[in-house]
Structure 1
Amino acid sequence: MIVPQFWAEGRVQERVAGKQVTVRRYGWSDESPVAAQAHADQRTREAFDRIVHKGEKLELRERKMPYNGADGVPIREEIVERQGDTVITRNTYGARCLNTPDVLFVDIDFEEPLRGSVFGFALVPALIAGVVGGWAARTWLGGLIAGIVVFVVAWVIGQRKKRGEHSGNPAPEKRAAERIARFMQQHPDWHLRIYRTPAGFRLLAMHDVFDPAATAVADCFHALGVDKVYARMCRNQNCFRARVSAKPWRVGIGDHMRPQPGVWPVSPEKLPARDAWIARYEKAAQGHAACQYLESVGNAAKVHPNALAVQELHDERTRALSGLPIA
């Protein structure tokens, strides 16, 4: 896991066969801005040679992304705090995130409930059915009947989705809990702490440390139904990650952090607006927890010291034991 303090961009522009070619790459360092620039210049020259002299099909300009971007580019977020190997950063929408190289976090999001009104969910298919039915029956009455039938069916489906009921299957929370129970039956030597998040469960493995690229991690993610984006991020960035402060829109902050996009670093003239937004956000987030501790399962006698240190930091920063509403 690499979360650098300093960033820079390199640029190589030369004429090749009568055509101007410009290549840009980022560099990073924990030592100094000068070291970051040297690294950027080195990566840019290497990319230029691969594109021009070796004919490789690479992007001329590297995209500025917070994480999960180009191969080899580390997490690009403002460092808020360091505790040993654990780094807390501020993500692009302003929340603080804990990043750890070897302590396993598993985020299980419940299936997304229906957003918006059930009426809106049902209206669109009903209109389509009305048009198609009217054309097929060659009468407006046929279209009206088809539209009403589809609207009623869609309305019932929408109501079930709003309640988390899908065709008689258990609710999403129950299905996630059942997956956890099955996993623990198959891995009785594991020790997991279970937390409730606004969108699902968060698991923290206490019995051992893990390599994010290990097969055991991939198997765990698959068995527990982990979001594929999160699984890919862990593998690409060689770390595990957990949000430790509230999402802004859940605590009444309706505007985005400035500037947009909030990929670190930002130019000095834009820092005052960013800092003002962060101060307002942190004040609003004080009355909320990022998750709530529920229970521990498995072999509680097995506790790895690295996992214990991360757990204590995580629980304090998330306010997981506070009883505050989660956001």
Structure 2
Amino acid sequence: MQIPQYWAQVRLRHETGIRHGATVLRWGWSDISQADAQNHAQQRAQQALEDVLKAPQTHHLDSDFERMEWAGEYGLYGSTPIREEVLERQNDTVMTRNNYGAHCLNTAQVAIADMDYPREKPLPGFPFLSMIFMLLALPWLWLTPLVWSVQQIVLIVIIAATGLVFHSRLKQWLSARKTKQTRQARALDQAVARVQQAQANHPDWGLRVYETPKGLRVIVTHAAWAPQAPEVKTLFQELGADPVYALLCEKQQCFRARVSGKPWRMGISGLSTQARRWPVSAENLSARQEWCQLYEQKSERFAACRFLQQLGPSTFCLEAQAFVPWHDSASKAQSSLPLA
């Protein structure tokens, strides 16, 4: 796992003609200083430019070579480490702020699996338009004298049809809300049962189970597993872990756990495009700091997950002894706050 403290970016261009040239863009990083990160970026950019200029003679350039390294924060498909703001470090665990502003714990030794519930169909919306039409039409119907003209009969038929539509869609809306609660409870029970079965298959495993807004989080507590360990692959397969998350763990050689709420679940907008990318430019730093202050205040009223149960051995390995208390405190897992 590598999560650098300092980042820099260098763009180099070599002119080969009036309208032709070679341009490369590379990131550099360091845990020592900003200057060291700048030197690293300069070295990587210079090497990339040399590779481009040599390509016509050597007839060789790697198929995955990128002239402009726009790799995302997670470095999932690129050659850079996780590029996020570092908030705190404790031993081998690092808390970062991800690209939409939430806090994440990153660890290379405590295995974490995320399980998502099956994707639900969108709920039908509340019939606002037909309700508004009925609220406007009923007073007119009540106050207008009945003369049985063609126009009046047509309007009465339209009002009656709208009333039937409103009644039907209102029933659908109420039924869907009730069914959603039942489906969520059933999905939670099924997911917990899957974790219990995995633990039963491996009685020596200690698994700590949490509810998240859309699934479960499982933390391995009996032993320290590296992301490439065969036990991790078995764990992910038996739990049906999110495949993108599993790929991220393999690529970055670390496990991640979001420990604060997602902004849109707490009623606030996310960071702007200019302020979300780390490192942020000087002109956007103030806007980022203001948003982060609002986010921290709002997130105090929400939990990222809720502790459900400890399965298997209750004795924690040394790595879990350090990680779990920080995770539970940061995520407010022992509280009754709403999940976000």
Q: Which bracket does the TM-score occupy, shorter chain normalised?
A: 0.7 to 0.9
Q: Identity across aligned pairs (percent)? A: 40
Question: What's the secondary structure of 2:211's corresponding residue?
Answer: strand
Q: Which residue of 2 aligns with 1:76?
A: 83
Q: Which residue of 2 aligns with 1:278?
A: 292
1:208-239 per-residue CA deviation (whole Å, 9 max, x = no partner) reads 11111222212211110111111111111111
TM-score (norm 1): 0.81
Taking the aligned partners of 1:164 and 1:75, their CA distance within structure 2 comes to: 39
Q: Which residue of 2 aligns with 1:294?
A: 308
Q: Which residue of 2 aligns with 1:143?
A: none
Q: Which of 210, 218, 226 is the aligned partner of 1:203?
A: 218
1:46-68 per-residue CA deviation (whole Å, 9 max, x = no partner) reads 22233332431422100141104
Larger radius of gyration: 2
Taking the aligned partners of 2:322 and 2:187, their CA distance within structure 1 comes to: 32
Taking the aligned partners of 2:6 and 2:29, their CA distance within structure 1 comes to: 6
Structure 2 vs 1, CA of residues 68 and 114 (structure 1 numbering), >3 Å: closer, same or farther?
Answer: farther
Structure 2 vs 1, CA of residues 186 and 320 (structure 1 numbering), >3 Å: closer, same or farther?
Answer: same
Matched letter for residue 249 of structure 1:
W
Taking the aligned partners of 1:320 and 1:181, their CA distance within structure 2 comes to: 20
The CA deviation at 1:16 is: 4.6
Matches within 5 A, 1:56-67: 56=61, 57=63, 58-67=65-74
Q: Which residue of 2 aligns with 1:134?
A: none
Question: What's the secondary structure of 1:72's corresponding residue?
Answer: coil
Structure 2 vs 1, CA of residues 26 and 296 (structure 1 numbering), >3 Å: closer, same or farther?
Answer: same
Taking the aligned partners of 2:122 and 2:75, their CA distance within structure 1 comes to: 27
1:138-161 per-residue CA deviation (whole Å, 9 max, x = no partner) reads xxxxxxxxxxxxxxxxx8xx9598
Structure 2 vs 1, CA of residues 20 and 194 (structure 1 numbering), >3 Å: closer, same or farther?
Answer: same
Q: Which of 271, 281, 286 is the aligned partner of 1:267?
A: 281
Matched letter for residue 12 of structure 1:
L
Q: Which residue of 1 aligns with 2:163?
A: none
Taking the aligned partners of 2:241 and 2:51, their CA distance within structure 1 comes to: 37
Structure 2 vs 1, CA of residues 260 and 162 (structure 1 numbering), >3 Å: closer, same or farther?
Answer: farther
Instruction: Say if 2:318 is the partner of 1:305.
Output: yes
Question: What's the secondary structure of 1:264's corresponding residue?
Answer: coil
Q: CA RMSD in A?
A: 2.6
Instruction: Say if 2:261 is the partner of 1:246.
Output: yes
- Contact 1:196–1:292 (CA under 8 A) maintained in structure 2: yes
TM-score (norm 2): 0.78
Instruction: Say if 2:187 is the partner of 1:180.
Output: no
Instruction: Say if 2:40 is the partner of 1:39.
Output: yes
Q: Which residue of 2 aligns with 1:137?
A: none
Question: What's the secondary structure of 2:26's corresponding residue?
Answer: strand
Q: Which residue of 2 aligns with 1:316?
A: 329
Q: Which residue of 2 aligns with 1:29?
A: 30
Q: Which residue of 2 aligns with 1:226?
A: 241
The CA deviation at 1:281 is: 1.2
Q: Which of 179, 201, 206 is the aligned partner of 1:191?
A: 206
Taking the aligned partners of 2:311 and 2:10, their CA distance within structure 1 comes to: 50
Structure 2 vs 1, CA of residues 119 and 285 (structure 1 numbering), >3 Å: closer, same or farther?
Answer: closer
Matched letter for residue 285 of structure 1:
S
Structure 2 vs 1, CA of residues 82 and 173 (structure 1 numbering), >3 Å: closer, same or farther?
Answer: same
Matched letter for residue 89 of structure 2:
R
- Contact 2:206–2:313 (CA under 8 A) maintained in structure 1: yes
Listed as ranges, the gaps of 5+ residues in structure 2 are 128-171
- Contact 2:97–2:103 (CA under 8 A) maintained in structure 1: yes
Q: Which residue of 2 aligns with 1:7?
A: 7
The CA deviation at 1:45 is: 2.3
- Contact 1:114–1:162 (CA under 8 A) maintained in structure 2: no
Taking the aligned partners of 1:260 and 1:17, their CA distance within structure 2 comes to: 34
- Contact 2:112–2:218 (CA under 8 A) maintained in structure 1: yes
- Contact 2:71–2:78 (CA under 8 A) maintained in structure 1: no
The CA deviation at 1:27 is: 0.6
Question: What's the secondary structure of 2:81's corresponding residue?
Answer: coil
Matches within 5 A, 1:81-120: 81-117=88-124
The CA deviation at 1:262 is: 0.9
